[in-house]
Amino acid sequence: MRRIDELHLDYPFAGSRMLQGLLKAEGHCVGRRHVATLMRKMGIEALYRRPNTSKPAPGHKIYPYLLRNFPVTRPNQVWAMDITYIPMARGFVYLAAVVDWFSRRVLSWRLSITLETAFCVETVEEALARYGKPDIFNTDQGSQFTSIDFIKMLKEAEIAISMDGKGAWRDNVFIERLCRTIKYEEVYLHAYASVPEARAALARYLTFYNAKRPHSSLDWLTPDQAYFNASQPISLAA
């Protein structure tokens, strides 16, 4: 499952057939059906580098994508959220994170052993309590993000709702890059023995990510510097 996840990050367009071929080329004896079963268990599918949040539940409203060619010039203008699979030595958990689009700063995050809506709502509520609110909140079309409770929270806060186009993971590219960075710089270098160990390790890494890791797209500022000291806006077309 971990290797499937690594290959999926590198080749998000690959379905079970292609992933089986890639695995067999590396010496793994595995059938296509088993690859498909593991992909479902992990919650990933071709063209998506995210857990099984791409399909809204029946009856859930889908909102339009508001950020195409939209200039993002300041902190708290646009926030984005996603969920990603985190492998451990045995089993796995899911990481939900809220990111400020302008600064790339991780504003809040949670780990969960399930994909229930509640942990997504709690993650956003923490960000709102600590940092105010954004003008626009962007997610994919997943069932957690189209749920009644999640939409109600954003509407009550008077936040404009934006959702990626179906199958268009590039619409949320900044947080997709964050998920990739977390996995290659932290998760894949370790085999967490427990959920508390995973939580502690991710807390250390995300503190480093916000406070010390410079970004070329931010003129080599850290996310903290870009978020808290944005005196001269950097234009980021969405």
CA atoms within 13 A on the CB side of 86: 31
Q: Residue ranges of the alpha helices (H) in the chain? A: 2-10, 16-25, 32-42, 117-131, 148-156, 173-185, 195-211, 223-228
User: What pLDDT is stored for residue 211 in this prediction?
Assistant: 97
Residue 62 token pair: 């889908």
Query: What is the pTM (predicted TM-score) of this model?
Result: 0.78
CATH placement of domain 71-237: 3.30.420.10
Q: How many residues does the chain have?
A: 238
Query: Which residues 6+ apart lie within 8 Å of 74 measured at CB?
Result: 102, 230, 233
Q: Kindly list the domain boundaries of the chain, sorted by start residue.
A: 2-42, 71-237
**CA atoms of 49 and 5, how far apart (whole Å):** 9
Beta bridge partners of 161: 137
Query: Which residues 6+ apart lie within 8 Å of 64 measured at CB?
Result: 162, 163
Mean pLDDT of 10-38: 87
Mean pLDDT of 229-235: 58
Reply yes or no on whether the pLDDT at 105 is more than 90: yes
Average confidence score pLDDT of the chain: 86
